[in-house]
């Protein structure tokens, strides 16, 4: 079954919300594993894994460094070097946070790596207010590879003008300036041309735009979407009510 | 021929009021969430699962950011709208790059501040919030910082509005002050949602404060007060360099720059004729 | 004026950009009638593009500058006084009547649509046209423009000519009564230009008023019924096509009358004096007369240079996986290029698009390293040297001048990176600006110069370094008639001062005029051009 972009967004977002609310390590691990499995089934496993590792590895390192070594509230000390104390409580806290964040990050990355961006843009544009958000999303995603190519052209042009990038800092700063300025100037200039084109093509004043690209949105998926979101809302509600005065944080 | 008019009608006041209301609601949501988090329970972050605090921080700040986007985005002229993707790419590319180094800075607000200087506080706030939301497409951990990013954009716009970009030495000062406020507002997110910071360099600073016996929230706030003002001072300076390198016509196409005389040497004398 | 049949009428007293002293357009009156093609001729910097954008609703009075005058479109008359109370043009409504396709036609594209079909439909979507009607319009316009086979492709994969057609399609699909095309034939090959002529005639036949803005008297301009000449912001002449002034008058107005852009005639030989003043003083310079050959080494020596693109060519990947044999890399561009270049010598390299001319040029300064063979610059092999180091002896002018301009003024731009005392740097920069005819623009922002002058400025930045070898990649693109003459003079000045010059161009006339010798890059090797 092909998922509508908003359905997969709702599922990924709800997974992130529910695991945050539940704050249970086993559930978080299960969600991460499921998301990873789904990404491998869709053939994007490697991409999702790489993206997750890039975000989660430094984050986990920081968490274990901060809480694993310095947790004044901890009482069960395993090891101690000068001011640094490794405590059970600190390690538990770090592990709990790391798994919770992982369980929010991985499903969302599975969504971004598997969704068809044009479909997402079409689905968002069809919903009124978000037309401009969809434009910004699509334009940003289109700009990233284009900027890469432009950056390469600019570097070649500057090298041909005598730019030599050496390892020391002043040379790097100078090289950065030589490349960043032409890049930003041309981007700003291009943007002002595009602004006029968008106005002329009626984007800015569009009242009720239609969509050329048709994205299938069958009824069962719409129901599923609402159910998933409702479920997430209920879990959040339960968690918040249990934590109100008298509850346990 | 066609009977439709070739000229634009004056904007309807009702729509403007609705937008203003959304803006105020968004700002209230952010301020309220912050006040609630700070007043009610900094003590037990490191105690229990603490997920309620995380949920409140997440939802309150995110709702605020989304309200701001809804209020501002429809009002932006095309010249600002098309610049937002450029700003976002600058934020994301530089932020991602600097985040991967061992420098305790972020430099992830250059695009936001650029828009704020050219198009004003509202556009800056919307860009900051949008930047976090769209960046979370690549890195979901930045999503909770949307409100902080919006605040940076709004403050940068105000700084530009009141002429702090007219003198070169004012820009880093304005950035420093903005960084203090932004850091204080973002600290609860780092503390309650992440239980720390996302980088190893900033983490080391938090560790140092924790070693001195601070609570986690206090340690993260102090770390933010060390990193953010310097970071924003650098960002504001870089943006000042950028906007003064822009050709005159490119700068003056923004009514905000013309109206408030944001940059030195671009008076409105000719504009008013 | 025959208001009855004119669909667009403009009466510009003056138009001034914000915060600029003088007006860009003054005392100008223009009316376009249904079903006609009109050519607006003007050199770079004449105000042609400003006028086109003003008429096309892209530069709107109040937004980008102040207009004093009258615009009349489809029976509605708008008066502008040049104050803040002037009417604000609704660009979307304006575009229903007047469509504008800028010189950099990709600007028209939203770039947020995944296929050519969706890009074409973007304007219709915003008008709320039903999907069925959109599909029909897209099919119809794509058919007329010859884009039908590309409808499902991504716009990012299109060639330059196809992108221009798509941009025109995006405007034409809105069915405007007036279509303004800014330099539509620039960097298009003859076939694509002929296709545009057919399209323009087709549109005019259906009642559209077409206005072509051009600095080049080419096939498109000759298809027009009327012409106007724009000089320094005002119309200086005009009439029916049969009364187009002769070659000398057009050239004097800074126009290019060239076979290179699809028309007849040729570029004039440079009539600018190469006087002694422009010559460097010789003392601090390698002043070798061209035919003396006093140097021990040739300025550049390429021996059996072979080059193939690496695995970057992504679209070929599946194909390559299938043929496992590695003996002949499929992307070989250079198959053994030999070339010896003497100081003072000017060589032109021509060849079809995609023959590898730019690739070859990038071997001279080490931006690309040969797979086998050697490149010697002034007797030294440059293999492994950083391009920035080689650049001390080799200057390269790229196709996109904007990639290398970053300073606040033209003077600072040229002076950047020169060594010596402040006085000698300023003198060298002034001299270089002089050679390319930009001494009057030394304090302007490079980004605000017209395209032709930006290119000349980029040339000046290369010349100021006094390279022993000067490399020029398609230097005539976007140059108007004046610019071409300055270019030819700059080449002669550099060569007379002892520089070896290699220029790569698709413009055979220009090659013949500027170079001592023309070579053709064909099938990966250099062969002498047929006489």
Overall domain count for chain A: 2
**Lowest-confidence segment of B8-12, C124-128, C356-360 by average pLDDT:** B8-12
Let me know whether C200 and C242 are in one domain.
Answer: yes
Answer yes or no: do A153 and C403 touch at CB < 8 A: yes
At C519 the three-state DSSP class reads strand
**Same domain assignment for residues A16 and A111:** yes
Whether residue C255 is found in the same domain as residue C291 = no
- Whether B81 sits inside 8 A of A144 (CB atoms) is no
Rounded to the nearest angstrom, the minimum Cα separation between A237 and chain B is: 10
Q: Residue A245 domain-assigned?
A: no
What digits encode the pLDDT tens for the residues B130-160? 999 999 999 999 999 999 999 999 999 999 9
Pair of tokens at residue C159: 């060639």
Residue B271 belongs to some domain of the structure: no
User: What angle, rounded to 10 degrees, do the helices at B146-161 and B216-245 form?
Assistant: 50
Contact across the interface for A137 and B134, Cβ inside 8 Å = yes
pLDDT of residue C212: 96
Q: Is C179 left (phi over 0), alpha (psi -120 to 50) or beta?
A: beta
In this prediction, residue B28 carries a pLDDT of: 93
CB A117 within 8 A of CB A138: yes
Residue C243 sits at φ, ψ, to 5 deg, of -100, 20
Name the strand (E) or helix (H) holding C424. Answer: helix C422-435
Is C331 part of a structural domain of the chain?
no
CA distance C196 to C221: 11
Do C218 and C347 lie in one domain? The reply is no
Residue B190, in any domain of the structure:
no
Q: Is residue C152 part of a domain?
A: yes
Number of domains in chain C: 2
Verify that C162 and C284 share a domain, yes or no. Answer: no
- Do both A154 and A45 map to the same domain? no
pLDDT tier at C330, thresholds 50, 70, 90: low
Give dist(CA C70, CA C72) in Å, integer: 7
Residue C351 near residue C362, CB atoms below 8 Å: no
* Interface check A168 vs C, CB under 8 A: no
Instruction: Specify the CATH number for the domain of residue C434.
Output: 3.40.50.300
Alpha helix stretches (DSSP H) within B100-145: 110-119, 121-135
Q: Do residues C215 and C280 both lie within one domain?
A: no
CB C452 within 8 A of CB C460: no
- If asked whether residues A139 and A26 sit together in one domain, one would say no
Write down the pLDDT at residue B269. Answer: 39
Query: Using CA atoms, how far apart are residues C431 and C426, in angstroms rounded to an integer?
Result: 8
Q: How many CB atoms lie within 10 A of CB B26?
A: 25
Same domain, C362 and C481: yes
How far apart are the C-alpha atoms of A128 and C320, rounded to whole Å?
46
What separation in angstroms does the CA of A231 have from each of A11, A17, A226, B62, C270?
10, 10, 8, 19, 79
Residues of chain C found within 8 Å of residue B271, distances taken between Cβ atoms: 18-19
Q: For residue C276, name the pLDDT band (cuts at 50, 70, 90).
A: very low
Q: Is position C515 within any domain?
A: yes
Domain co-membership, A115 together with A20 = yes
DSSP state of C217: -
Range of the domain at C398: 276-297+341-369+386-528
**Shared domain check, C291 and C239:** no
Cβ of residue C417 closer than 8 Å to a chain A Cβ: yes
Indicate if A10 and A34 belong to the same structural domain. Answer: yes
Instruction: Calculate mean pLDDT across residues A195-199.
Output: 91
For B270, which residue in chain C has the nearest alpha carbon? C19
Assess if residue B97 is contained within a domain.
yes
Q: Identify the sign of the CA torsion A141, A143, A147, A150.
A: positive
Pairing of strands C65-73, C234-240: unpaired
Residues whose CB is less than 8 angstroms from the CB of residue A213 and which lie 6 or more positions away in sequence, other chains included: A118, A119, A122, C114, C118
Q: C464-495: buried (b, 16+ CB within 10 Å) or exposed (e) per residue?
A: bbbbbbbbbbbbbbbbbbbbbbbbbbbbbbbb
> Could you tell me whether strands C65-73 and C76-81 are parallel, antiparallel, or unpaired per DSSP bridges?
antiparallel
Question: Is A170 among the domain residues?
Answer: yes
B226 Cα to chain C: minimum distance (Å): 34
Taking phi over 0 as left and psi of -120 to 50 as alpha, with beta for the rest, A45 belongs to alpha
Give the Cα separation of B267 and B163 in Å (integer). Answer: 12
Bridge partners of residue C335, in order along the sequence: C306
In-domain check, residue B203: no
Q: DSSP 3-state assignment of C268?
A: coil
Chain B residues in contact with A127 (beta carbon < 8 A): none
Q: Is the pLDDT of residue B3 over 70?
A: no
- What is the mean pLDDT of the segment spanning A92-109? 92
Residue to substitute from C49, C63, C112, interface A, most A β-carbons within 10 A: C112
The rounded distance, in Å, linking the Cα atoms of B82 and A203 is: 11
Torsion sign across C-alpha atoms C124, C159, C56, C29: negative
Least confident window among A104-108, B65-69, C63-67, C89-93 = C63-67
Beta strands at C6-17 and C300-308: parallel, antiparallel or unpaired: unpaired
Smallest Cβ distance to C112: which of A121, A161, A185? Answer: A121
Domain count along chain B: 1
Regarding whether C283 and C188 lie in a shared domain, the answer is no
The answer to whether residue B85 is domain-embedded is yes
pTM above 0.80, yes or no: yes
Q: Which residues contact C49 (CB under 8 A, 6 or more apart)?
A: C102, C103, C182, C213, C450
Range of the domain at A36: 5-122+214-236
In this complex, the residue of A165, A189, A211 whose CB is nearest that of residue C447 is A189
* Residue B132 included in any domain: yes
Instruction: Assess whether C139 and C286 both reside in one domain.
Output: no
A87: left (phi over 0), alpha (psi -120 to 50) or beta: beta
Instruction: Kindly state whether B271 is in contact with chain C, defined as any CB-CB distance less than 8 angstroms.
Output: yes
Residue range A194-202: mean pLDDT, rounded: 91
Helices (H) and strands (E) in chain C, counts: 16, 20
Domain of B247, in residue numbers: 16-33+46-181+230-264
CB pairs under 8 A between A and B: 185
Helix (H, G, I), strand (E, B) or coil at C15: strand
Reference B183, options B223, B135, B150; nearest CA is B223
Task: Encode pLDDT of C159-180 as tens digits.
Answer: 878 888 899 999 999 999 999 9
Shared domain for A61 and A118, answered yes or no, is yes
Q: Does B245 touch chain C (CB under 8 A)?
A: yes
Interface test with C, best of A164, A166, A187, A200 (most C CBs within 10 A): A200
User: A243 to chain B: which residues are within 8 Å by CB?
Assistant: 52
C368: nearest CA partner in chain A: A156
φ, ψ of residue C464 to 5 degrees: the values are: -60, -25
In a domain, C195, yes or no: yes
Asked whether residue C267 is assigned to any structural domain, the reply reads: no
The pLDDT tens digits for A234-248 are 998 888 887 665 444
Q: A206 in a domain, yes or no? A: no
**Residue C194 touches partner B, C-beta closer than 8 Å:** no
Q: Which two tokens mark C271?
A: 């009539």
| Together in a domain, C220 and C280 | no
A83 confidence band (pLDDT: 50, 70, 90): confident
Q: Is the pLDDT of residue B111 over 70?
A: yes
């Amino acid at each position: 079954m092909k998922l509508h972009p908003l359905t997969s967004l709702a599922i990924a977002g709800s997974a992130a919300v529910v695991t945050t609310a539940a704050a249970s390590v086993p559930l978080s691990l299960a969600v991460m594993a499921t998301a990873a499995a789904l990404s491998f089934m869709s053939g994007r496993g490697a991409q999702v894994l790489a993206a997750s590792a890039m975000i989660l590895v430094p984050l986990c390192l920081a968490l274990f460094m901060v809480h694993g070594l310095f947790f004044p509230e901890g009482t069960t000390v395993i090891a101690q070097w000068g001011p640094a104390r490794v405590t059970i409580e600190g390690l538990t806290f770090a592990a709990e946070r790391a798994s919770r964040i992982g369980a929010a990050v991985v499903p969302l990355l599975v969504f971004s790596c598997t969704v068809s961006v044009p479909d997402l843009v079409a689905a968002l544009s069809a919903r009124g207010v978000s037309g401009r958000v969809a434009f910004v999303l699509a334009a940003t995603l289109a700009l990233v590879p284009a900027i890469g190519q432009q950056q390469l052209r600019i570097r070649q042009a500057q090298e041909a003008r005598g730019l030599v990038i050496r390892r020391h800092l002043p040379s790097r700063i100078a090289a950065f300036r030589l490349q960043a300025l032409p890049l930003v100037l041309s981007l700003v200039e291009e943007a002002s041309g595009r602004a006029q084109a968008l106005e002329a093509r009626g984007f800015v004043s569009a009242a009720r735009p239609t969509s050329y690209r048709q994205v299938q949105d069958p009824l069962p998926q719409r129901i599923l979407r609402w159910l998933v979101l409702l479920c997430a809302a209920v879990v959040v509600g339960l968690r918040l009510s249990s934590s109100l005065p008298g509850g346990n944080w | 021929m066609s009977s439709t008019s070739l000229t634009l009608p004056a904007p309807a006041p009702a729509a403007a009021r609705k937008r203003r209301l959304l803006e105020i609601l968004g700002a209230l949501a952010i301020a309220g969430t912050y006040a609630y988090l700070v007043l009610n329970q900094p003590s037990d972050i490191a105690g229990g699962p603490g997920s309620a605090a995380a949920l409140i921080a997440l939802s309150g700040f995110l709702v605020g950011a989304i309200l701001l986007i809804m209020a501002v985005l429809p009002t932006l002229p095309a010249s600002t709208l098309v610049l937002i993707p450029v700003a976002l790419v600058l934020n994301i590319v530089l932020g991602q790059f600097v985040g991967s180094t061992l420098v305790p800075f972020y430099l992830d607000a250059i695009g936001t501040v650029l828009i704020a200087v050219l198009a004003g506080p509202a556009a800056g706030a919307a860009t900051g919030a949008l930047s976090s939301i769209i960046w979370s497409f690549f890195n979901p951990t930045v999503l909770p910082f949307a409100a902080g990013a919006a605040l940076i954009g709004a403050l940068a716009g105000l700084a530009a509005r009141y002429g702090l970009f007219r003198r070169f030495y004012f820009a880093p000062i304005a950035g420093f002050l903005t960084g203090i406020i932004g850091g204080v507002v973002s600290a609860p997110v780092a503390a309650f949602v992440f239980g720390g910071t996302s980088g190893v360099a900033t983490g080391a600073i938090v560790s140092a404060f924790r070693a001195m016996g601070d609570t986690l929230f206090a340690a993260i706030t102090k770390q933010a007060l060390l990193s953010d003002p310097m970071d924003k001072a650098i960002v504001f300076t870089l943006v000042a360099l950028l906007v003064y390198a822009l050709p005159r016509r490119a700068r003056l196409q923004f009514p905000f720059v013309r109206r408030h005389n944001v940059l030195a040497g671009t008076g409105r004398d000719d504009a008013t004729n | 004026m025959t208001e009855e049949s004119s669909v667009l009428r403009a009466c510009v007293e003056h138009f001034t950009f914000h915060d600029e002293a003088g007006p860009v357009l003054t005392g100008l009156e223009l009316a376009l009638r249904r079903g006609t093609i009109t050519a607006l001729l003007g050199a770079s910097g004449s105000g042609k593009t400003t006028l086109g954008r003003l008429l096309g609703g892209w530069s709107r009075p109040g937004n980008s500058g102040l207009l004093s005058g009258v615009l009349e479109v489809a029976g509605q008359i708008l008066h502008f006084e040049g104050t803040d109370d002037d009417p604000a043009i609704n660009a979307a409504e304006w575009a229903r009547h007047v469509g504008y396709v800028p010189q950099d036609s990709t600007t028209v594209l939203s770039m947020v649509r995944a296929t050519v079909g969706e890009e074409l439909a973007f304007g219709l979507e915003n008008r709320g046209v039903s999907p069925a009607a959109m599909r029909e319009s897209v099919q119809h316009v794509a058919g007329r423009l010859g884009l039908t086979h590309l409808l499902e492709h991504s716009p990012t994969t299109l060639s330059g000519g196809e992108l221009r057609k798509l941009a025109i399609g995006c405007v034409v699909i809105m069915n405007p009564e007036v279509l303004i095309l800014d330099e539509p034939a620039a960097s298009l090959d003859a076939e694509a230009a002929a296709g545009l002529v057919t399209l323009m005639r087709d549109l005019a036949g259906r009642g559209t008023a077409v206005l072509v803005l051009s600095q080049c008297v080419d096939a498109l301009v000759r298809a027009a019924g009327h012409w106007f000449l724009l000089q320094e912001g005002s119309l200086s002449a005009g009439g029916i096509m049969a009364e187009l002034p002769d070659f000398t008058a057009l050239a004097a107005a800074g126009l290019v009358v060239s076979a290179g852009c699809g028309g007849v005639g040729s570029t004039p030989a440079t009539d600018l004096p190469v006087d002694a003043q422009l010559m460097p003083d010789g003392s601090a310079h390698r002043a070798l007369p061209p035919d003396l050959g006093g140097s021990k080494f040739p300025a550049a020596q390429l021996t059996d240079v072979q080059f193939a693109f690496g695995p970057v060519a992504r679209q070929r990947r599946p194909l390559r996986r299938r043929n496992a044999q590695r003996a002949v890399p499929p992307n070989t561009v250079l198959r053994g290029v030999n070339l010896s270049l003497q100081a003072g010598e000017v060589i032109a390299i021509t060849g079809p698009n995609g023959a590898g001319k730019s690739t070859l040029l990038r071997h001279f300064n080490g931006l690309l390293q040969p797979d086998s063979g050697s490149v010697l610059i002034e007797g030294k092999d440059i293999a492994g040297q950083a391009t920035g180091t080689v650049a001390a002896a080799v200057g390269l002018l790229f196709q996109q001048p904007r990639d290398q301009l970053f300073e606040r003024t033209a003077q600072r731009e040229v002076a950047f990176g020169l060594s010596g005392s402040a006085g000698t740097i300023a003198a060298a920069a002034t001299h270089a600006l002089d050679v390319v005819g930009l001494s009057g623009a030394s304090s302007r922002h490079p980004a605000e110069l017209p395209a032709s002058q930006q290119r000349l400025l980029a040339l000046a930045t290369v010349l100021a370094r006094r390279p022993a070898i000067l490399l020029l990649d398609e230097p005539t693109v976007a140059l108007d008639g004046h610019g071409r003459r300055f270019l030819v003079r700059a080449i002669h000045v550099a060569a007379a001062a002892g520089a070896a010059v290699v220029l790569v161009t698709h413009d055979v006339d220009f090659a013949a005029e500027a170079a001592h010798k023309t070579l053709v890059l064909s099938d990966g090797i250099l062969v002498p051009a047929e006489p």
